[in-house]
Chains A and B, each alone.
Chain A
Amino acid sequence: MAISRRSFLKLAAGAGLAAGASLAPAPVGARPPVPRLPEAVGILYDATLCIGCKACMSACKEFNGLPPEHTDPRAIWDDPLDLSAKTVNIVKLYTHGSGLAKDREVDGYAYIRRFCMHCVDPACTSACPVGALYKDARTGIVKYNPDVCIGCRYCQIACPYNIPKFQWDSPFPRIVKCQMCDHLQARGSFPACCRFCPTGASLFGEVRELLREARRRLALKEGEPTWFPLRRVDSGSHTYRAAPAYLPYIYGEKDGGGTQVLMLSSVPFAKLGLPALGEDSIASHSETVYHALYKGMLLPYLVLSGLVYLVYRNTTKKDLP
């Protein structure tokens, strides 16, 4: 009747091992953080330069073959309310109080562009069971391959910025997201949103150089006259204006393990709807928990051997019919 002492001890040891591994939030074998790729490309978005013209939105749709969207049936223009399977880039507006002064948190307003951040260590690619979302090994662009996607939407659960969108109204749906105009880059061009931005608010370039440019801007004194590159960080053409009152923070430098899209603003990023993520990527955390249990399948294999032994002993002794 009683549980045999020996078998109980064995099982307890196995269970203890499993529990121990999952109990330690960051065991010795925690997955190391992913470094930035040396040739990574990205976009620097400076909200203080953004005039809300939405040229990037229409350019994005035109060069990516995306249809306009009617959220209000009476509207006679493209009027997406948020990112969707038809809109992978959107300019949103923050307002407060009287909403009069641009780039001011109180009684002011500010624009904010939202699109895929092209994370250094993306949650979406860690989650995707079949590698349909994957990170280009050289440029770091996070791309989508519909030929393998099973449509499970785990990428949507995982992405901390809610970027991947799903075609809910199609019997043959796809995931849709910004792929940094990868097809244009393959032809030697660069993202449409940066090419058509009239103020340089969206700037394409290598992430290294974008980071340098962002730091240069943060070092400026408010009101100091300065120059801002247009379209690409290395384009050689500039606009000239006074430096705004930047928050001393580059969103995406470290956030969530870092992103290849970097942002500057005068209004706190939390107010603009960007999540506060901490410096570790959620992918590294999830994979640490997961790999603690499944590294090399060692633990499952050990448990299985123990189980076969116990069951064999218990069934043969009992002499089954």
Chain B
Amino acid sequence: MPLSTQPPGSGEPYLLVASLDNARHLSSLLRAVHFQDHATCFASANGLRVTVEDAKCIQANAFIQAEIFQEFTVQEESVTFRINLSVLLDCLTIFGTGSLPGTSTALRMCYRGYGYPLMLFLEEGGVVTVCKINTQEPDELLDFDFCSTKVVNKIILQSEGLREAFAELDMTSEVLQITMSPDKPYFRLSTFGNAGSAHLDYPKDSDLMEAFHCNQTQTNRYKISLLKPSTKALALSCKVSIRTDAQGFLSLQYMIRNEDGQICFVEYYCCPDEDITEAEL
């Protein structure tokens, strides 16, 4: 269904034009980072990145590479705007969230630039919906400065093993404690709730463990309420990489395979709960 890139009569090209045959490829990923109403969108030639933050402690990013889109054009180096993610998701799923095989919502996203709304053209079964969502000034985003050289401990797990654990986390506990160590217990998730404490241990030689690179024993605590939303990303993903740096900052990277087999990433960064990260040696 052809949608012209430029609105009739206007000479200005859009700064960002993106087309997607199946809007679900985008909406499901955005849902995985949807724990706040607002998000910052950053588009570059590489693709689209949507960032959500909370409490200055946690940041989630959803990456949809340009290759996933059927068409993805960015006129300038990069385009950034802030948008209401709840509204965006509602629009993307305007034809319903049920996923019937064979039917999908086609999406065309256009953004004229600073001050203009984000235009969404959605079509399913011949019915077209046009949405205009106001954009805002992008916020200053946290920079966790998490680069591979600073990583102390790194584990890659098959998500299947963690999904149930995260879904059943004892929410009466204020923190989720993560222990990573070259010695026992290797990788442990702990909660301290009303009923008592609970520990989930993953041995390093488990079938679930795809990679285990722990150099130092680290135990860090993170506010469980901040990490709980990452369960959504975990549910979608097939693999997750868990990394911590010397200061106890946590990086969770989820590899998500969409319906067409394409790979996208979602990552969560979280600050440790206390300033002290005990590097127990």
Q: Do A and B bind each other?
A: no
Please give the residue numbers on chain B whose beta carbons come within 8 Å of chain A beta carbons, in ascending order: none
